[in-house]
Structure 1
Amino acid sequence: MSGPEPTLEPAQLGAYFALMEVAGLLRHGVEQQLRDEGDLTYVQFQLLARLGLDSPTGSRRMTDLADGLVYSRSGLTYQAGLLEQAGLVERGPSPDDERGVTVTITDAGRARLARVLPGHVHVLRDLLFQPLASTDVDTLAALLAPVRDHMRASPPRSAAPRRRKRNG
């Protein structure tokens, strides 16, 4: 005989539905803006932003990008290939791992990022931050950080750091 089925309290269920709806609506608005202003997918924008805004060298290893973006390595390879064909990134061998691939943003990639970033900020301000007081934004960030950290402690395979084989 099994125990009672697990349930969520009404407040938990409401929070879950609200979070998923907000995430879906925000993602839709962001994706529309990126398509319209930069002919970019959300993943392509994330890749360019990680390289152009979050990396001092403008380069990162593909596996590190996939881990950070919570995206499959094969899917990210495909998206990086499309960006490379468009001249927005370059791929090459990783200097510290002969099997690894490094992606580097190009000047054209930086220009595309600069073109879409103002509209991206506008969408975020309009859809996400406009109805919140600044203290609410601080609270939201404080609430989401431990949830993110908890999820990252046992991430899906696409977001788990790849184990490196030891030589010897």
Structure 2
Amino acid sequence: MADSSPSLDPVELGAYFDLIEVTSLLRHAVEQQLREAGELSYVQFQLLARLGDAPSGSHRMTDLADGVVYSRSGLTYQAGLLEKAGLVIRTPSPDDERSTTVTITEAGRERLAAVLPGHIEVVKGLLFEPLSRDDVTALAGLLAPVREHMRATPPRSAAPRRRGKVS
């Protein structure tokens, strides 16, 4: 009887390990730069960047959690730290009192502007410098359908919350 368990061929396995290593090395360098330049965690930077890009400077907390792929409770904690630092404000959502809206402050925009040049330098230097423009275009073309495939499942905020043990 043949083994029917799922496996990765050597090329798939190599691509997977390369992707994981590249992602880990890049994330480590980015996190170090963000801490040194702006005393921000990677998730806090993602939150500020998403808010800074929004025309209103605001997002619902649930949408932020889905966008940055982070748990609701973890995001609430990170948003609380940003609020204590004066970088965002949290208010009840105008269209749903059960939701919270997060808005970037002027201080948040200033912090984002302070860390962004170094952030771009790290990303360009580590990720894009060894690649040609055609390579970058090819990489973007390869990653986009994978990202869309992974995002095709409902966002975690749409999943029912666990309410403890059911007897």
Q: Give TM-score scaled by structure 2 length.
A: 0.91
1:140 aligns with 2:144: no
Q: Structure 1 CA distance, aligned partners of 2:142 and 2:81? A: 36
Q: What secondary structure does 1:131 align onto?
A: coil
Which consecutive aligned stretches of 4+ in structure 1 deviate over 6 angstroms post-superposition? none
Show the counterpart of 1:92.
91
Q: Structure 1 CA distance, aligned partners of 2:29 and 2:114? A: 17
Q: Structure 2 CA distance, aligned partners of 1:62 and 1:105? A: 12
1:6 CA displacement: 1.8
Superposition CA RMSD, Å:
1.6
**What are the superposed Cα offsets for residues 56-92 of structure 1, whole Å, 9 maximum, x if unpaired?**
0100000000011110000000000000000000000
Q: Structure 2 CA distance, aligned partners of 1:87 and 1:161? A: 26
Q: Structure 2 CA distance, aligned partners of 1:73 and 1:161? A: 7
Q: Structure 2 CA distance, aligned partners of 1:148 and 1:5? A: 25
Show the counterpart of 1:20.
20
8 Å CA contact 2:34–2:40 kept in 1: the answer is: yes
Q: Which stretch shows the higher mean deviation, 3-12 or 103-112?
A: 3-12
Q: What secondary structure does 2:158 align onto?
A: coil
1:4 CA displacement: 2.6
Query: Counterpart amino acid of 1:4?
Result: S
Q: Structure 2 CA distance, aligned partners of 1:39 and 1:151? A: 31
Q: Structure 1 CA distance, aligned partners of 2:40 and 2:49? A: 12
Show the counterpart of 2:107.
108
Show the counterpart of 1:125.
124
Show the counterpart of 1:166.
none
1:160 aligns with 2:159: no
Instruction: Identify unmatched segments of 5+ residues in structure 1.
Output: 164-168
Show the counterpart of 2:163.
none
1:4 aligns with 2:7: no
Q: Give TM-score scaled by structure 1 length.
A: 0.91
Q: Structure 2 CA distance, aligned partners of 1:34 and 1:102? A: 24
Count of aligned residue pairs for this structure pair:
160
Q: Structure 2 CA distance, aligned partners of 1:161 and 1:139? A: 32
Identity of aligned residues (%): 69
